[in-house]
Amino acid sequence: MSKKIKIWVMLGFTVIVLLLLKLLFDRRFDSVESLQNYMKGFGMAAPLALTVFQAMQVVVPVLPGYLGCAAGAVAFGSMTGFWCNYIGISTGSVIAYFLARKYGMDIVLTMFPKKQYEKWSRRIEKSKSYGWFLFIATLLPLFPDDFLCYFSGLIKMNSRKFIWIIILGKPWCILAYSIAFGMIK
């Protein structure tokens, strides 16, 4: 793996971990109101901050995406939270795909354990149509979507097809999360 990739991956990972540790130690999120107040601290840029966070959590998969979906829906309501999450997660998915296309197996094995790669490779080899498999996977909650975005770049899936799968498949699970978490008051 190139030194440049390792530096960017480690920098992204470190920033996310430090931010999460700071938030944890500051105990800012002990209630719905404390999360909403924290997000309001970003002012007009709060939705953009969530969108960028969601994109980064796909590119540097440290946290499950549903946590950001929950934060967005609780902080901004179901619909605004949905749009921030959908745009961020979709953008991050496309970035992950193109990173894998450019940097290949090295970046994937930096982000994910080799066992996970081998497990999914075997499963996908048995799949008759990877495109349909990916589409269905994007519809399901708690599926390893981040990994599949990188994997799609490795197998050199057509980029237009990949982007359409993300655009059409991603919103449904995110919308369900947004509606469910938006009911928390």
Query: What pLDDT score was predicted for residue 144?
Result: 79
Mean pLDDT of the chain: 82
Q: Is 128 helix (H, G, I), strand (E, B) or coil?
A: coil
Query: What pLDDT score was predicted for residue 90?
Result: 96
CA distance 128 to 61: 28
Asked if residue 84 has pLDDT above 80, the reply is: yes
**Count of CB atoms situated within 10 Å of the CB of 170:** 21
> Which amino acid, residue 75?
A
- Provide the residue ranges of all domains of the chain, joining segments of one domain with +: 3-182
CA distance 136 to 128: 13
Q: How many residues does the chain have?
A: 185
149, with CB counted inside 10 A (0-12, 13-18, 19+), is buried
Q: Indicate the pTM of the whole model.
A: 0.80
CA distance 99 to 8: 12
Could you tell me which residue, 11 or 139, shows the higher pLDDT? 139
Please identify which residue in the block is written with the tokens 């991050």: 92
Query: What pLDDT score was predicted for residue 11?
Result: 66
Could you tell me which residue, 14 or 139, shows the higher pLDDT? 139
36-74: b (≥16 Cβ within 10 Å) or e: bebbeeeeeebbebbbbbbbbbbbbbeeebbebbbbbbb
